[in-house]
């Protein structure tokens, strides 16, 4: 008779998109980052091979979906496939920023639902679980047939803002840049015990990133306005919102957002906008050479690392959010 006590082994690997975040997560977990070779052939094809045994391991593979997004996405899928073929016991995709998250429904006829395609691709590659931060919409969880642990950076951002504005004579108002973000603003408001306002906007469906109309709903005059959002892409909406708030008499304007995608002219827009401070996290890497005075990049590593540990030890992940990811 052969008797063996089952042992669990946590292994953390990363793609090439954001190695600094992975190193920090490994430090929080008290483990060494796993060794993996990833390279790109002259033809553009991506190759991956693990340089240590992963057989029977609980493997977590991190990839940040910054630019070039599609290359990083394919690299992640290939790394997951390699883990599955190397007999990892469980494979968890760690996606701090979920790719194609804004294409979660059809706004016009003959459009794709690309977010659902992403879910299909990850499950075809062989993931058993997904970990992500501040999904653009909660319905993305329903696109997966495997568990998706939805984390939030809201406590990290709100606690930082609270520390920065403590002692100010002006009261705080939390501002959503559009009606769709009101729920997120309400959660910020409850945590900071502050009222909310929102900006009503109408997008041009034919021209991407173009806003046709903007107006403020709520009290902002003489108050420190904190615009909160999940994604800053081209920064057009938040910069227009900041200018509108200043015109309406705001005492100061700050921005707090989870995912700093910063596409196109976003950096120049943010530099020239009337923001006293822009606070983001490193779910997407923010290169040092594009950072500017007033930009604060907070690390999401402790939150994601704690979630990884809880998944590995079969502990609750939802308890980490203290109900902040609940719908109501």
Report the catalytic residues: 201
With CA atoms as reference, report the closest residue to 283 among 65, 79, 127, 60: 65
Count of CB atoms within 10 A of residue 299's CB?
17
Residue bearing tokens 């993996």: 36
Residue 6 DSSP one-character state: -
CA distance 150 to 3: 38
Q: Which DSSP string corresponds to 106-126?
A: -SSTT---HHHHHHHHHHHHT
Of 144, 158, 33, 35, give the one whose Cα is nearest residue 95. 144
Is the distance from CB of 65 to CB of 77 less than 8 angstroms? Answer: no
* 232 vs 237: CA distance, rounded Å: 9
Residue 13 token pair: 């690997």
Q: Specify which residues 37 forms β-bridges with.
A: 49
Tokens 């690392």 identify what position?
A: 305
Give the long-range contacts of residues 208-214, CB within 8 A, separation 24 or more. Answer: 209/233, 209/234, 209/236, 209/237, 210/236, 211/236, 211/237, 211/240, 214/240, 214/241, 214/244
Could you give the CA distance from residue 80 to residue 124 in angstroms, rounded to a whole number? 10
Of 324, 309, 230, which Cα lies nearest the Cα of 28?
Answer: 309
**What is the Cα–Cα distance from 229 to 257, expressed in whole angstroms?**
5
């Amino acid at each position: 008779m052969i008797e063996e006590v089952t042992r669990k082994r946590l292994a953390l690997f990363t793609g090439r998109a954001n190695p600094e975040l992975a190193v920090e997560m490994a430090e929080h977990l008290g483990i060494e980052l796993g060794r993996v070779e990833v390279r790109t052939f002259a033809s553009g094809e991506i190759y991956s091979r693990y340089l240590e045994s992963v057989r029977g391991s609980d493997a977590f593979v991190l990839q940040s979906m910054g630019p070039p997004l599609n290359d990083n996405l394919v690299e992640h899928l290939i790394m997951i496939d390699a883990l599955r073929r190397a007999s990892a016991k469980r494979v968890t995709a760690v996606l701090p920023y979920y790719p194609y998250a804004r294409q979660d429904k059809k706004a016009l006829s003959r459009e794709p639902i690309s977010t659902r395609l992403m879910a299909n691709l990850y499950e075809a590659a062989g993931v058993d679980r997904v970990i992500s931060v501040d999904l653009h919409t909660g319905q993305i969880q329903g696109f997966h047939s495997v568990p998706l642990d939805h984390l939030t950076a809201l406590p990290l951002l709100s606690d930082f803002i609270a520390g920065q504005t403590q002692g100010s004579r002006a009261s705080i108002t939390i501002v959503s840049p559009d009606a769709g973000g009101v729920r997120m603003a309400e959660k910020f408001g409850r945590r900071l015990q502050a009222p909310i306002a929102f900006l009503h906007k109408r997008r041009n469906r034919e021209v991407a990133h173009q806003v046709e109309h903007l107006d403020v709903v709520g009290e902002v005059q003489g108050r420190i306005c904190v615009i909160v959002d999940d994604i800053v892409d081209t920064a057009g909406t938040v910069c227009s919102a900041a200018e509108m708030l200043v015109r309406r008499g705001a005492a100061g304007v700050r921005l707090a957002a989870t995912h700093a995608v910063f596409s196109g002219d976003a950096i120049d827009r943010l530099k020239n906008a009337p923001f006293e401070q822009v606070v983001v996290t490193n779910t997407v890497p923010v290169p040092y050479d594009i950072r500017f005075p007033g930009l604060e990049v907070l690390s999401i590593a402790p939150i994601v690392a704690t979630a990884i540990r809880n998944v590995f030890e079969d502990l609750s992940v939802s308890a980490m959010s203290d109900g902040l990811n609940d719908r109501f």
